[in-house]
Amino acid sequence: MFKKVFPLSSILFLRFLGLFLVLPVLSVYALDLEGATPFLVGVIVGGYALTQAIFQVPFGSLSDKIGRKPTILIGLLIFLVGSLICAYSTDIYMLMFGRFLQGAGAIGSVVTAMIADLVEEKQRGQAMAIMGGFIAMSFAIAMAAGPIIASHYGISTIFIITAILAVLAVGILFAKVPTPPKIKHIYHGDTKTSDILKDPNLLSMVIINAMQKGLMTAAFVIIPVFLTKPEYGFNWDKSELWMVYVPAMIAGLIAMGPAAVFGEKRNIPKQIFLVSIVLFIASFVLMGTTNSSAVFITAVIFFFVAFNMMEPLVQSMISKFAKVHQKGAALGIANSAAYFATFLGGTFAGLYLDASSRATLGLTIGGIGLIWLIWTLVKMKNPTRYSHLIIPEIEVDFDKLKSLESEHIAEWFINETEHVVVIKYAQEALEEDEIKSQIVK
């Protein structure tokens, strides 16, 4: 399974590494461009996410028509062009256009769909966790490397590196990504897309995904500005930003592994999310109120730990909570919401920098986080544990299979490449022999 997921996760890793490299420093460097204001800088930090949100569904639909690989190629080429425009920007509006173009290559949902094509359902949760882990690693590495590269070589060099990473991703796409097997899904029950937002677990995951990404861009608008601008009380040099990001990155990487293992294997994602939200709240409140550099660094560490604890679990949990017919739609809605929140987080932080104090901004975000914590505590539950029954196709009576209905059976499908039928069922409610007796010849 890992061999199938690794190439696609690597493509996302390279793409997100390019996007994340600029986040720790973009706001403070962009303020020096012609025409810059805090509001426009906030738009630029989150701008790529607005076009990501807009183009997620069109790219997903395009991949159904012309294939996954060609669609991913188109998205990477658009991302490459956007990165080069950013690298050679001379004013705030040219940089904004480049950032919007970077996001227009919206391949996230296409890569997720291709992983679902390649990986059996029983392993899909693990596959999504691996993908999330790669994204989290790209985030952590970028936080350490971005400030160092920018301070020595300038922010334009980061965008050139981003373009190079896009070229490497294209190479992996054609050299390493395998062709998916032919899978025939047999679904049952009538469902509507609107049901996704009526399911409290799925709605909680949409909110968690959106809040996590929105807080990320808000943080990367305010952290470098708070630390480097004298009016906020710290007056660091831009070249010193690595001193806050490196320890935070290390702490985030250390926290990520145990959170993913405990969340998946012990089936306690809700508890992991609640701890992360508490850390988010503490992070922004401390960043807004402290006058101590040591406490501010501690707050940034809290932020990184919270983000990295969540990231490997988010996509996996959406996939687990979604009904059979709606995995793709649920992931699409959650990711679109996350990208819109990413844009809004940066824009909101930029507006607040123009209109209010550091303390007001930190406490406001902390208050929003408290509402998020209460919602998750009350509404979200841990997912049902499922097992998979695999039966050779030749042994199955398909008339009986098509009439198989149970509230404890989530889905069944035929793997036409391996000639087997796969049935996903709640292991605590049904026995394998009971299911076999209903469908074998």
- Sort 279 into a burial class: Cβ within 10 Å, 0-12 / 13-18 / 19+: buried
Domains of the chain: 2-379 (1.20.1250.20), 386-439 (3.30.70)
**Residue of 154, 108, 159 whose CA lies nearest to 131:** 108
Q: What percent of the chain has pLDDT over 70?
A: 93
Q: Residue 157: what pLDDT?
A: 95
pLDDT digits (tens, 9 = 90+) for 384-423: 777 888 899 888 888 788 777 777 787 777 877 778 888 8
Q: Residue 363: what pLDDT?
A: 95
**Backbone dihedral angles phi then psi of residue 425, each to the nearest 5 degrees:** -140, 160
Q: Residue 120: what pLDDT?
A: 66
Provide DSSP, 161-173: HHHHHHHHHHHHH
Res. 170 pLDDT band, cuts 50 70 90 = very high
Res. 189 pLDDT band, cuts 50 70 90 = very low
- Sort 355 into a burial class: Cβ within 10 Å, 0-12 / 13-18 / 19+: exposed
Which whole number is the average pLDDT over 64-78? 88
Q: Residue 76: what pLDDT?
A: 96
Residue 366 in contact with residue 254, Cβ under 8 Å? no
Tokens of residue 396, six digits: 């199955």
Which whole number is the average pLDDT over 41-59? 87
Q: Which amino acid is at 389?
A: L
Q: How many CB atoms lie within 10 A of CB 144?
A: 19
pLDDT digits (tens, 9 = 90+) for 105-130: 888 878 877 877 777 655 666 777 68
Q: What percent of the chain has pLDDT over 90?
A: 38
Q: Residue 200: what pLDDT?
A: 86
Res. 134 pLDDT band, cuts 50 70 90 = confident
DSSP strand pairing (183-186 vs 420-426):
unpaired
pLDDT at 187 over 60: no
Q: Residue 270: what pLDDT?
A: 94
pLDDT digits (tens, 9 = 90+) for 191-248: 566 777 888 888 899 999 999 999 999 999 999 999 998 888 899 998 888 899 889 9
Res. 165 pLDDT band, cuts 50 70 90 = very high
pLDDT at 361 over 50: yes
Q: Residue 260: what pLDDT?
A: 81
Lowest mean pLDDT among 127-141, 176-190, 208-222: 176-190
Provide DSSP, 221-285: HHHHHHHHSGGGT----GGGTHHHHHHHHHHHHHHHHHHHHHHHHTT-HHHHHHHHHHHHHHHHH
Residues 6+ apart with CB under 8 A from 321: 199, 201, 202, 205, 330, 383
pLDDT digits (tens, 9 = 90+) for 315-347: 778 877 876 556 666 777 888 889 899 999 999
In whole numbers, what is the pLDDT of the chain averaged over residues?
86
Lowest mean pLDDT among 148-152, 286-290, 372-376, 431-435: 431-435
Residues 108-139 as b or e (16 or more Cβ within 10 Å = b): bbbbbbbbbbbbbbebbbbbbbbbbbbbbbbb
Q: Residue 294: what pLDDT?
A: 94
